Amino acid sequence: MIDLSTEYLGLELDNPLVPSSSPLTGELDTAKKLEDAGASALVLPSLFEEDVEHEQKQLERFVYSQALGHSEAQSYQPIPEDYSSELDSYLERLQKFKSALSIPVIASLNGVSTSGWIDTGKELQQAGADALELNVYYIAADPDTSGEEVENRYLQLLSDLREQVNIPVTMKLSPHFSAVANMVLKLQRAGAHGVSLFNRFYQPDIDLETLHIKPRLELSSPIESLVRIRWIALIRGRVDLSIAATGGFHRTEDIVKALLAGADITHLCSVLLQKGPQHIAVLKRELHNWLEQKEYTSVTQMKGSVSKSCAINPAALEHCNYMHVIKSYGQ
């Protein structure tokens, strides 16, 4: 009997296949399909700091600041009874998901400042979130902003939130830190329960007709999984955190590699957008078959067996890998 179960953020999961934040995890119907296909947990779409702040400013402008044209009515400007804020809608969705699903539901916060997020985190906890993912999408475009300042922004947000919530908190990082392993260690010391490696920064494009900057969405490809696998292998066993692999995991072989490197789970997004929620069942079956063929009894047994601390040739994860690849080109 092959045991696919794994532990992530203190949660006992049926298997390591967890849909990440996407349109598929934002609707209850598709969330149920993901669960039925074998998803062991899911991450809700991110609640964006910019959306909440913009909505609040609009509310102040149109509800509180508009002149009504009558002096006696100025003090009476009620919010409509049917008004539902972005945060209200998110909390309602979370509660519905928790009532309808039997798998853990992880809420996701996307922002770069601590203002407002502490109370938001507490409300998400009260609404039933099993864990929180902090998806800090921050581009350090100011030349006067140092790498240390960027790191401290992440660490402050995490530590402030950890003082107020009891549920597990994981940090979703980009691969652009100058010292990824050290940053992960700092996050552990600041109270993180886990890290997700790595976030994907969608790149802007230039419209050559209008010369406007425009957003461009490109789904991930399997080649992107390699940088995730490498860093997971480098930090596994050197930090005491749950590790999620995210970005580029389309094929069972890449999921297997992430687990061998030391991931506790692999997040799935692009592959499910392309092939549908039911594809989780395919990946789960193929993962089971691989373990059976290689005579593993469980995911726990294989997890981290090719990390730096366990690999036969650990130096291949670092500089000599680059040297050998360059020399082998064209041979």
Alpha-carbon span 164 to 125, nearest angstrom: 10
Q: Taking the alpha carbons of 54, 57, 61, 64 in that order, is the dihedral positive or negative?
A: positive
What's the token pair of residue 203? 């790149």
Instruction: Tell me how long the chain is.
Output: 331
Alpha-carbon span 284 to 276, nearest angstrom: 14
What's the token pair of residue 181? 């392993």
pLDDT given at position 113 = 66
pLDDT given at position 59 = 41
What is the tens place of the pLDDT at every residue in 251-280?
999 999 999 999 999 999 999 999 999 999
Residues 6+ apart with CB under 8 A from 156: 114
Q: pLDDT tens track of the chain, all 331 residues?
A: 999 999 999 999 999 999 999 999 999 999 999 999 999 999 999 998 655 554 454 444 545 555 555 555 555 555 555 556 889 999 999 999 999 999 999 999 987 666 667 888 999 999 999 999 999 877 888 999 999 999 998 999 999 999 989 999 999 999 999 999 999 999 999 999 999 999 987 788 999 999 999 988 889 999 999 999 999 999 999 999 999 999 999 999 999 999 999 999 999 999 999 999 999 999 999 999 999 999 999 999 999 999 988 877 777 777 656 666 667 766 6
Contact (Cβ atoms closer than 8 angstroms) between residue 77 and residue 68: yes
Helix (H) or strand (E) holding 48: strand 47-48
Cα–Cα distances (Å) from 290 to 255, 256, 285, in that order, read: 11, 8, 9
What is the tens place of the pLDDT at every residue in 64-122?
555 555 555 555 555 555 556 889 999 999 999 999 999 999 999 987 666 667 888 99
DSSP string, 183-222: HHHHHHHTT-SEEEE----PPPEE-TTT--EE-------G
Alpha-carbon span 57 to 53, nearest angstrom: 6
CA neighbor of 272 nearest in space, from 13, 83, 33: 33
Contact (Cβ atoms closer than 8 angstroms) between residue 197 and residue 228: yes
pLDDT given at position 171 = 96
> Which domains does the chain show, CATH number per domain?
6-328 (3.20.20.70)
Cα–Cα distances (Å) from 25 to 96, 113, 283, 330, in that order, read: 12, 25, 18, 44
Coil/strand/helix, residue 41: coil
Contact (Cβ atoms closer than 8 angstroms) between residue 218 and residue 249: no
Helix (H) or strand (E) holding 121: helix 117-126
Alpha-carbon span 268 to 247, nearest angstrom: 8
